[in-house]
Each structure stands twice: as structure tokens, then as C-alpha cells.
Structure 1
Amino acid sequence: MNRTACLRLVLGTSLTVATTAALAHPGHDAATVNASLLAGLAHPFTGADHLLAMAAVGVWSALIARSASDTLRLPLAFVALMVVGATLGLSGVALPAVEPMIAASLLVIGLLVALRAKLPAWAGTLLVGGFAIFHGYAHGAELPATAGALPAVLAYVGGFAVATMALHLLGIGAGTLLRRRAGWLARLAGAGVALYGAGLLVA
């Protein structure tokens, strides 16, 4: 099997898996979330959409960073704007197209990883930060209005901010390793994330 045929097979299989996973995606259920540090720490790991997006941001950052310090620029922007989005969600502010934008973030960031695309620093930060607002909004909106006192809510927000940064750092570690030893695998992983996002959009 030549390289082109192999790539088509892998991409076709990834699309099938992505679409199946998207159809099984349960959405976000506010009634299942409690205001606590533990709930906040666990929350980013409970949905593949959030988990993949956050890890992909870390991978992309590692692939395009010009220096070690530059590697943290996108993750820090993501976490900061995610907290802004969470504040909007907790405040009950209506934000349209949250789920489609989360799906679009997977598609776009996945493509950026697959293409190893380099954007101007301001453009990359604006793009990642914009998507982070919708991810944060979903986290905040999933917390019931009766969730608890302010300290518990703040612990929840702090928990998912820390967990998000941990996912970014895991992505950075993976991206750094793949950049040095298996750049093609990073591209394949990015394509898979993008296809998952496309599947969510279709569903």
C-alpha cells in the first residue's frame, strides 16, 4: 500500500470514528455538576471536546514556539479567556452558538496542528482566546444556580483552570516530543482532532 492510499485509509477511519463519537456526544448537563474544587479539577476530563481542544492547544504551541517561554503564550491566553467565559456563564449572560463554537475550535485548532501552521502572535492568541471564551462559558453555565456559596464556586473555577493548564502542559510535552522525533504523527493527531470537530458540527 503506497503512502497516499495509507493516508486515505487512516483519514477515512478517523472520520468514521469521529462521526460515531460525535453522535454519541451527550452534551453538557448542568444538573450533574457541583461547586467544589474536586468537581472543577475533574470537569475538563469528562468531555472529549474540552479535553482534545485543550491538549491540541498545547501541541500546537509546542510545534510553533520560537522559544521555551513562547510555548506558554497560547496556553496562558486560553486559561485567562476561559475564566472570562466562565464568569459570563455563571452570570447567566446569554452567549449564542456555544456548542458549535466548541466544535469549531476542535476543527480549526486540529487543522492548525495538522498543517503546523504559524500565525502572527497576535492572531494565534486572539484565535485561541476567542475559542477559550466558549469553552469557559460551557464550564460556567453547567453549574446550577443553586450550586453553593461563592467560595465553592471560586474553588470550582480554580479547579478547572488548573486542570486546563495541566492538559495544556501535557499537550506541550507531547508536541515537543513529536516535533523532534515524529512530526508526521503530530500532523496525524491534528487531523484526527479536526475530524472529530467536523463530526460534532455535522451532528
Structure 2
Amino acid sequence: MKSVFGKMFGAFVLTAVATPALAHTGGAAGGLSSGLFHPILGTDHLLAMAAVGVWSAAQPAKQAWRGPVLFIGVLAVGALIGVSGLPLPMVEPGILASVVILGLMIATARVLPAGAGLAAISVFALFHGHAHGTEAVGALAGYMAGFMIASAALHAAGFGLGRLAGELKHGHAGVGLAISGAGLLLAGG
């Protein structure tokens, strides 16, 4: 089991590092297919969404749903703020910080109070949503539905990874530190 998990995680990290560093290039995006693929093709978004799922898997079972549901709700609010043209300072640095900090939250999931984790998740969701909203053009409803569906799917994939990691002695710490390391690589350019 450990060997399979290690290979799966190694492939995940290599894939994440090999894709374009940032999903938010400042270009325009619209329509359902663009919304569905945008979060998956951007390493920063992919890692952050997976991290929310992994963090949630490390929470007590009755509370595991809170992180992803909160993220999707605040993601929508952030997107609406972005679409409206209201500025939000430090969006790209906040998105990069989300990957690093979410990874550290996973590594310390049993120590960090859930309320603090959920507060951080909501701030990061606002940044991610704002970035998506500022890029939205054309078929706005389809685009927003697409990136929210893709984000939820990435949360679910991360949750599955988190459940697998939870079966290993230091699995969550390893996954969390790997995600933080990938975030630092992204931040370093």
C-alpha cells in the first residue's frame, strides 16, 4: 500500500509541477468548458483545491464537509466581486500563499483548530473566486458553474487522497509538506 501511495503521490506532484504555474494569466475566459478546465489546468488552483479536500479528510468525519462547502460558497462570492470590477488587493500573492498555507494546515491538521482552518479556507476561496471572476467574459453563468463544479471535483479527489494518506503513519504531514513545497516552487517562479 505504501509503495502504491508513494508512486501515486509522486506522479501527482510531478504532474502539478510540469503544468503552467498559474491559472490566472489575466486573460479572458468564458463558457462551461473553459470553466471546467481552467481550475484543472492551473497548478495553483489544482493544488489549492486538492489541499482543501485533503485537509477536510483529516477532520472528524461529521465535520469533513465544511471545508469544501465553505470554499465553494465563498468562491462564488469572490467571483461575483471580480465580475463586478471591484478590486481586491494581493489576489495573486494570496493564491500562491493559499497553496503553501493549506499544505501547512494539512501537516498540522490535528493541532490547528478547525475554526482557524475554516477561516483561512474562506479567505483563500475569496482570492481564487475573485481571480476567476475578473477573467470571466461571455457565457458567464456557464463559466462560473464550470469552475465551481471542477473545484468541487478537485476537493473530492483531494478528500480521497487525504483518506489514503490518513492510513499511513505520517501521511497527512507528508502530503501537506509536499503541497507546501510545490507552492514555494510556484512562488519562486
TM-score for both structures, normalised by structure 1: 0.77
Aligned counterpart in structure 1 of residue 34 of structure 2, from 33, 39, 50: 39
- Secondary structure of 1:31's match? coil
- Secondary structure of 2:65's match? helix
The equivalent of 2:95 in structure 1 is 102
Q: 1:32 to 1:46 in 2, by over 3 A?
A: farther
Within the alignment, does 1:28 sit opposite 2:24 as a pair? yes
The size of the alignment, in residue pairs, is 175
The equivalent of 2:162 in structure 1 is 175
Q: 1:94 to 1:32 in 2, by over 3 A?
A: closer
Within the alignment, does 1:188 sit opposite 2:174 as a pair? yes
Structure ranking higher on relative contact order (CA contacts 8 Å, 6+ apart): 1
TM-score for both structures, normalised by structure 2: 0.83
Aligned mates of 2:91, 2:111 — CA distance in 1: 26
Q: 1:156 to 1:94 in 2, by over 3 A?
A: same
- Once the two structures are TM-superposed, the CA of residue 27 in structure 1 deviates from its matched residue by 6.0
After the TM superposition, which residues 151-162 of structure 1 pair with which residues of structure 2 at under 5 Å, given as runs? 152-162=139-149
Which amino acid in 1 is paired with 2:83? L
Aligned mates of 2:104, 2:75 — CA distance in 1: 21
Which amino acid in 1 is paired with 2:60? R
Which amino acid in 2 is paired with 1:175? G
The alignment yields a C-alpha RMSD, in angstroms, of 2.3
Within the alignment, does 1:132 sit opposite 2:125 as a pair? yes
Which amino acid in 1 is paired with 2:177? A
Which sections of structure 2, spanning at least 5 residues, go unmatched? 1-9
Percent of aligned pairs with the same residue? 42
Q: 1:25 to 1:170 in 2, by over 3 A?
A: closer
Aligned counterpart in structure 2 of residue 74 of structure 1, from 58, 67, 73: 67
The equivalent of 2:183 in structure 1 is 197
- Once the two structures are TM-superposed, the CA of residue 158 in structure 1 deviates from its matched residue by 1.0
Which amino acid in 2 is paired with 1:184? H
Q: 1:165 to 1:26 in 2, by over 3 A?
A: closer
Larger CA Rg, structure 1 vs 2: 1
- Secondary structure of 2:170's match? helix
